[in-house]
Amino acid sequence: MSTHALTTKSAKRLAAVDRFLTFIRVFLVALIVVGLLAFIWQQVDADNPFARWRNPDARGLTGDQFKGLLISGLSQGSMYGLIALGYSMVYGVLGFINFAHGEVFMVGAMTGFIASEKFAANGMWEQNFILCLLLIVLLAVFFSTFTAVLMERIAYRPLRNSPRLIPLITSIGVSFFIQNFVLGLFGPASKSYPRLPEWLSKQRSILTFEIAGTRLLVLVVAAVSMAGLWYVVERTKTGKAMRAVAEDKEIASLMGIDVNRTIVTTFAVGGAMAGIGGILWGLMFRSVTHMTGFLPGVKAFTAAVVGGIGNLGGAMAGGISLGSAESIAPMVILEPLGVPGVSQLKDAVAFTVLVLVLLFKPSGLFGERLSAEDRA
Amino acid sequence: MNARAMTLPRSAVDQDWRHVLRWGLICGLALVGLCLVGMPVELDRRALIERHLSLGYLFVLLVPVAMGWVSSTLVALEGVENRRQGLYDLVTGFLVGLMGGGVLSLLMVALDAWNLRDPLVNWSPQLFRFLTYENGMGFGAAAWLATGAVLGLAGAALHVVPAVVRRTTGFVVFGLFFLSVLEAAISDLSEGFGLESLTDWLYAKKGGLTVTSTIVFGLVIAAASLATRGRIKAATDRYRDMEGVERQKASTILFVVIAVLCVVLPMFLGKIMNELLANVGIFLLLALGLNIVVGLAGLLDLGYVAFFAVGGYATAVLTSPNSPWFAPELHFGVSLVFVVLAAALTGLLIGAPVIRMRGDYLAIVTLGFGEIIRLLFMSDWLGPYFGGAQGITNIPGVDLGFATVKGTDPRSVFYLVLVFCALAIYTSWRLQASRLGRAWMAIREDEQVAEAMGINTVNAKLMAFVVGAVLASFSGAVLAAKVGSIFPTSFMILVSIIILVVVIVGGMGNIAGVLVGSFVLIGVLGGPKQPGLLQEFQNYKLLIYGVLLVFMMLKRPEGLVPSARRSRELHQDEFLQDAWLKGDKLDDEDAADDGASVVPAAAPVGDEGGEEE
């Protein structure tokens, strides 16, 4: 009898939290739906009272504005995707969040700045831009990879078998260290990349989309890198080893795979992607500081979770969805609800997306790929 | 597995050259990194011993000593006869230090030859002057080679000399270091007691110990160290073994002494020291709260600053006449009730969605919440309520009837913080052994098992969030009353991480550890914006926090003052292995393989697994 009473009691208590969570879910969905409806109404009939219910000044968006938001979301998102690949791969193989991965990205952007500034100083940047671009990408990839591999060797390898929060805390320390080391080396001033040549940065019109050349470059480079990564992971022997290690380290080692080397390769590949992402960031936003890696890093992790951690295609898709959501949602959902200064809330929107995904589909939009032990 | 331990060297020059080369290079690179970050030049301004040693040189000189020590550390193996350390290790340390000095000399040559000031801001003539002792390159190079080698040798020698010497040296070095670091505190205190003549003798006019006082105190500390040999350990052991009434009596005495010190000391301290103590108190309060969430319940909350912000903003809105939305000005004490309510509610709101998540997802989502809350406080949207980027100003102090606590009188702030800290310590202490506290620890160790044992994990975790949130909100309230204004920029994620470092370095899950952590880190290095005793560290404290966090996680995850239970958890493998070694006859093949490395047992010398613990 008493056990029965106990179970019903605890079941009731559990239900309280669950009811509260359901309430949060319903509330958030309702908010999104109302915002969207108000937005659609504005587009269809701007004088309708419902459209002006919360925000009498709302004008809605023109088609071009919407396309602009979409393009900026896509290009920003593809950079998140490039960083997210590193998070996803490391999580897949080692089962912990490498918090310092954002710093690897920052090292790439910083290297790109130093190299491109030197090129700009001797005129090569203007004369032979393609060669310069290739060189700075190579340099950035080299230094990012180096940073990633070094941090694995020094900080993470000794912690291979410790409880999963220990490497996470360590990576926070590594992130702090790299940020402040770079600050000490290069100083606190914001560094700006040299201007891109005119022929590249001018506006182009593709399929009725007005797109700046820089953004086009970002999209193309991101797509090419993604294809390269896909080839490495799915078609080469190294990639096979990486997938095997992600599945089960012990069995992989029994099959004659050098687990240590494979893990280093994983960090290296993730670092290379982050390096490319860093260059693209520098070309697009043109300014780099020692803190550049922090927010994009956290958002890229969000992207990896949105796409399903451990899932490489998912990481890229997650990055693009997150970038688009971050760029479009403030204008489409918050503005019609009468929230002023929506652009300030861009980052808050990105984190809300993370909470939403974890509330509704914790395994991500495209499904996690983790080994059994990491799923616990 | 370390090859050094396995093979017995034939003679002192029969070194493991790969090992020496590796550590020499690490030593050199560490030195170069230190120099290029700009630490030596900036810290050179702080004298430790007048005209002879500055903080900058100390940092540079420490590197070869540490590397000499590390490179000559013998990895003791169970079941194998380990060789005695001697000349062989001294040679290792010497060579490592020599190489470090060599790399530093190369840096000097490079500094002279090229100008890389453009990307590297610290590539400066000052650095060159620092490295050459302002005496030209030849002298500098010779000096660094010699000092590097001698210091590396000294580091290695620490392994070789008898334990008494090691202990005494350690005592003298640390004692003198603290004596000179605490210069500001000691002069302030002796001024309070009217003992200016003591400080005049102890410290030089331009800062730093005088040479005579260094020698005298060095001898005094050495004598004290020799005299107390074995006594300290015996005393703590005796205290630990006490039971019942006796232990209670001892604890009461200890408590009364500490309480009296806390109340009396600030009366003799000046403004700056009291300000420092008040800052330490504010962060101690935060650390105690985070200790409950992270240390006891094992929930890695990276957005802890959110609760700090809620406490600060709630106090500001309720008490300030400038608050844009809430008209009546409540008294601090009355507003505290609402602060607690607001914090508890925020704790529930943030806690509810995250408690079912995996530990690492929880960390990132709480970090997200921390940012969301700061962004909301800063946004134009909630600007009419919280003042946006301009914040809320003109927050009155705490009117106690007989006195007013406000920022201009740091001593009163300290006493206010002291009350809250006492409350927090009492709460944590009582909670630790309570049913709830034991439930938290069970969840930390294994959530599924805890649930199977009938613990309502959801409620317990929510309670951890709520208790942590309330303690942090107290801290926020005190901050608001102390500073008199609240801005969103005071609540960056940085604050969460610094508190995390404090808790981890001190010792997760241990109140004494958290106390030590806050005093050492916040008191000496300083908080996110607040300077500590070593104000010269202002630009480097975050770097040091990062290094400390990594170092502690790698070498001592249980913290400086570990909680017994937590360290047993973290070293479970070692405990199991010890038990297994004792209980079983050695099986060579299994003992040599530590399970993690995939290297076969009979691996060739110097394989990649060389540094695994």
% of chain B beyond a pLDDT of 90: 23
pLDDT band at A375 (very low <50, low <70, confident <90, very high): low
Torsion of CA B591, B592, B598, B603, to 10 degrees: -160
pLDDT band at B496 (very low <50, low <70, confident <90, very high): very high
B65 within some domain: yes
Using the 3D structure, point to which of B128, B160, B192 is the last residue of a domain. Answer: B160
Residue A10 has pLDDT above 70, yes or no: no
Using the 3D structure, point to which of B136, B160, B184 is the last residue of a domain. Answer: B160
Residue A2 has pLDDT above 60, yes or no: no
Whether residues A245 and A313 fall in one domain: yes
CATH number at residue B347: 1.10.3470
Taking alpha carbons only, the member of B458, B122, B456, B554 closest to residue A156 is: B554
Residue B355 has pLDDT above 50, yes or no: yes
CB A359 within 8 A of CB A236: no
Whether residues A128 and A26 fall in one domain: no
Taking CB atoms and an 8 Å limit, are A165 and B554 in contact across chains? no
Whether residues B105 and B204 fall in one domain: no
Whether residues B465 and B424 fall in one domain: yes
Residue A111 and residue A97: Cα distance in Å, rounded?
Answer: 24
Whether residues B499 and B548 fall in one domain: yes
| Interface mutation target, options B364, B456, B497, chain A, most CBs of A under 10 Å | B364
Whether residues A289 and A206 fall in one domain: yes
How does pLDDT run across A47-83, given as a tens digit for each residue?
A: 666 666 666 666 667 777 888 888 888 999 999 999 9
Taking CB atoms and an 8 Å limit, are A169 and B300 in contact across chains? yes
Taking alpha carbons only, the member of A32, A31, A30, A54 closest to residue A42 is: A54
A148 within some domain: yes
Whether residues B402 and B375 fall in one domain: yes
CB pairs under 8 A between A and B: 180
Identify the closest residue of chain A to B381 by CA–CA distance: A340
Whether residues B75 and B218 fall in one domain: no
Whether residues A46 and A87 fall in one domain: no
Whether residues B395 and B482 fall in one domain: yes
- In chain A, how many domains are there? 2
Chain B residue numbers touching A174 (CB-CB < 8 A) = 546, 550
Whether residues A94 and A20 fall in one domain: no
Whether residues A348 and A253 fall in one domain: yes
Contacts of B560 (CB under 8 A, 6+ apart): B505, B506, B507, B513, B516, B517, B520
B598 within some domain: no
How does pLDDT run across B294-312, given as a tens digit for each residue?
A: 989 989 999 999 999 999 9
pTM: 0.88
Whether residues A328 and A293 fall in one domain: yes
Taking CB atoms and an 8 Å limit, are A172 and B549 in contact across chains? yes
Contacts of B96 (CB under 8 A, 6+ apart): B20, B23, B24, B27, B64, B67, B68, B71, B72, B152, B156
Whether residues A235 and A349 fall in one domain: yes
pLDDT band at A12 (very low <50, low <70, confident <90, very high): low
A96 and B CB contact within 8 Å: yes
Taking CB atoms and an 8 Å limit, are B379 and A344 in contact across chains? yes
Any alpha helices (H) in chain A, and if so which ranges? 2-44, 63-94, 101-121, 124-127, 129-151, 165-186, 198-201, 213-235, 237-247, 249-254, 259-285, 294-307, 312-329, 346-360, 372-375
Closest approach of A300 to chain B, Cα-based (Å): 11
A65 within some domain: no
Domain span holding position B174: 163-231
Residue B21 and residue A290: Cα distance in Å, rounded?
Answer: 32
Q: What is the pLDDT of residue B425?
A: 92
A271 within some domain: yes
A338: alpha, beta or left? (left if phi > 0; alpha if psi -120 to 50): left
B106 within some domain: yes
| Interface mutation target, options B23, B385, B550, chain A, most CBs of A under 10 Å | B550
Chain A residue numbers touching B353 (CB-CB < 8 A) = 21, 24, 355, 358-359
Which tokens belong to B303? Answer: 């957005």
Whether residues A172 and A132 fall in one domain: yes
Whether residues B169 and B111 fall in one domain: no
Average pLDDT value over all residues in chain A: 84
- Closest Cβ–Cβ partner in B376, B545, B570 for A176: B545
Taking alpha carbons only, the member of B104, B96, B89, B99 closest to residue B33 is: B104
Residue B62 and residue B40: Cα distance in Å, rounded?
Answer: 12
Q: How many CB atoms lie within 10 A of CB B180?
A: 25
Whether residues B418 and B544 fall in one domain: yes
Contacts of range B261-264, beta carbons closer than 8 Å, 24 or more positions apart: B262/B418, B263/B415, B263/B418
Q: What is the pLDDT of residue B305?
A: 94
Closest approach of A63 to chain B, Cα-based (Å): 26
Residue B298 and residue B507: Cα distance in Å, rounded?
Answer: 13
Closest approach of B360 to chain A, Cα-based (Å): 7
Domain span holding position A242: 72-375
B582 within some domain: no
Taking CB atoms and an 8 Å limit, are A162 and B121 in contact across chains? no
Taking alpha carbons only, the member of B34, B96, B98, B28 closest to residue B60 is: B34
- Closest Cβ–Cβ partner in A14, A172, A178 for B497: A172
- In chain B, how many domains are there? 3
Strand partners, B306: none
Whether residues B449 and B522 fall in one domain: yes
Closest approach of B586 to chain A, Cα-based (Å): 23
Using the 3D structure, point to which of B113, B130, B160 is the last residue of a domain. Answer: B160
Whether residues A134 and A175 fall in one domain: yes
Closest approach of B503 to chain A, Cα-based (Å): 12
Whether residues B290 and B180 fall in one domain: no
From residue A148, give the alpha-carbon distance in Å to each of A174, B153, B347. 11, 33, 36
First to last CA, chain B: 8
B264 within some domain: no
CA B366: distance to chain centroid? 23
B218 within some domain: yes
Q: What is the pLDDT of residue A60?
A: 65
B266 within some domain: no
B119: alpha, beta or left? (left if phi > 0; alpha if psi -120 to 50): alpha
Q: What is the pLDDT of residue A58?
A: 61
Whether residues A191 and A98 fall in one domain: yes
Chain B residue numbers touching A177 (CB-CB < 8 A) = 543, 546-547, 550
Whether residues B559 and B448 fall in one domain: yes
Q: What is the pLDDT of residue A52?
A: 64
Q: What is the pLDDT of residue A218?
A: 87
Residue A321 and residue A316: Cα distance in Å, rounded?
Answer: 9
CATH number at residue A315: 1.10.3470
How does pLDDT run across A352-365, given as a tens digit for each residue?
A: 888 888 888 888 88
Taking CB atoms and an 8 Å limit, are B554 and A170 in contact across chains? yes
A9 within some domain: no
Whether residues B170 and B147 fall in one domain: no
Taking CB atoms and an 8 Å limit, are A159 and B553 in contact across chains? yes
Residue B489 and residue A141: Cα distance in Å, rounded?
Answer: 34
Q: What is the pLDDT of residue A150?
A: 92
Residue A94 has pLDDT above 90, yes or no: no
% of chain B beyond a pLDDT of 70: 92
Whether residues A24 and A153 fall in one domain: no
B564 within some domain: yes
Residue B459 has pLDDT above 70, yes or no: yes
pLDDT band at B289 (very low <50, low <70, confident <90, very high): very high
Q: What's at A233, amino acid-wise?
A: V
